[in-house]
């Protein structure tokens, strides 16, 4: 009976829109298409969206070359993703996931644009990792249909989706979104709307403390990361992870936590601010705590 009910809920979502064709947005689009959804992948221009789709195609091409995926399955998955120029193309979507940069003013602007374009009853989700869903929902005409879907980076590999319920989020919206995430093969955790939610409230102080240790000369970046991997059994060191996430994103989340909670344990190190000011944002720019080659590998 429960399985039948879940299937009926899931049938409400057939087409998913993703706003933002960068690392997170393209990853979410790939995961959604792999689950059988039709996907509209949009960015500031159709050229940027096509670039995101090309990256998906290239990643899947490597899986085909390694024998981990059939060529026809790759073609079918890519064929379910349609590049688009912006939110205006989301009019047929049942669920739209905003995956733009972690900036509250930008997100509100984009959320409103999506809200205006979407059909009545469609659900609007944000992939924000720290910004208040209640505030984002309040900027729309469908607050009860707004929710957080925080995918972990990179979405095709990470199994978790953190579902964040705004004060306004309806029970129906939660059930539909959870069913969609589970169809994408994800395990869900649920957080009420609080700064940093669950994962980043725990993670960001650790990343900042590793940066403080480096800033104060307690150890080298390699020693800090090796200590976390071998001493704490973490798959990646905290500085490596910060570089993967993007140092601008780490700083933005730290600032939200520090401002909204008011506890100095969430303050960002000067070194982190300086790296961001220099434009050294981690793997995506080729330099952060480490220097990376053209393939994204760390240089010795």
Q: Any binding-site annotation on 240?
A: no
Residue 155: both structure tokens together = 């979405």
User: Which residues make beta-bridge pairs with 150?
Assistant: 162
For residue 218, CA distances in Å to 212, 215, 222, 291 come to 9, 8, 12, 21
Q: Any binding-site annotation on 20?
A: yes
Q: Is 72 exposed, middle or buried (0-12, 13-18, 19+ CB in 10 A)?
A: exposed
Residue 68: both structure tokens together = 């981990």
Q: Which of 134, 81, 88 is nearest to 110 (CA)?
A: 88
The HSE-up count of residue 298 (CA atoms within 13 Å, CB side) is 12
Sheet holding 15-19, edge to edge: 81-84, 38-42, 15-19, 95-98, 123-126, 146-151, 160-165, 187-192
Residue 132: both structure tokens together = 């208040």
Q: Any binding-site annotation on 63?
A: no
Q: Any binding-site annotation on 186?
A: no
Q: Any binding-site annotation on 129?
A: yes
Q: Any binding-site annotation on 284?
A: yes
Which residues are the active-site residues? Answer: 129, 150, 162, 200
Q: Any binding-site annotation on 215?
A: no
* Residue that has been written with the tokens 């070359």 in this structure: 65
Torsion of CA 229, 230, 233, 234, to 10 degrees: 0
| Binding residue positions for NAD(+) | 20-25, 43, 102, 107, 129, 153, 284
| Binding residue positions | 20-25, 43, 102, 107, 129, 153, 284
């Amino acid at each position: 009976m429960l399985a039948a009910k879940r299937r009926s809920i899931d049938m409400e979502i057939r087409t998913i829109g993703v706003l933002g064709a960068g690392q997170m947005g393209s990853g979410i689009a790939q995961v959604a298409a792999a689950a059988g959804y039709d996907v509209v992948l949009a960015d500031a221009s159709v050229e940027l969206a096509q670039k995101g789709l090309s990256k998906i195609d290239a990643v899947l091409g490597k899986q085909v070359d390694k024998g981990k995926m059939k060529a026809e399955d790759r073609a079918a998955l890519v064929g379910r993703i349609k590049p688009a120029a912006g939110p205006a193309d989301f009019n047929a979507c049942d669920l739209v996931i905003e995956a733009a940069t972690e900036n509250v003013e930008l997100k509100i602007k984009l959320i409103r644009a999506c809200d205006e374009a979407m059909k009545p009853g469609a659900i609007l989700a944000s992939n924000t990792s720290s910004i208040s869903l209640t505030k984002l929902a309040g900027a729309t005409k469908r607050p009860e249909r707004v929710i957080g879907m925080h995918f972990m980076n990179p979405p095709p590999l990470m199994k978790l989706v953190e579902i964040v319920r705004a004060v306004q989020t309806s029970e129906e919206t939660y059930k539909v979104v959870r069913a969609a995430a589970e169809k994408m093969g994800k395990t869900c955790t649920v957080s009420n709307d609080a700064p940093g939610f669950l994962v980043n409230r725990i993670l960001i102080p650790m990343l900042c403390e590793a940066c403080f240790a480096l800033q104060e000369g307690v150890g080298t970046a390699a020693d800090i990361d090796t200590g976390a991997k071998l001493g704490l059994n973490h798959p990646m060191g905290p500085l490596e992870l910060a570089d993967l996430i993007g140092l601008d994103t780490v700083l933005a989340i730290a600032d939200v936590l520090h401002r909204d909670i008011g506890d100095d344990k969430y303050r960002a190190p000067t070194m982190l601010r300086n790296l961001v000011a220099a434009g050294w944002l981690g793997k995506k720019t080729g330099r952060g705590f480490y220097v990376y080659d053209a393939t994204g590998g760390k240089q010795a």
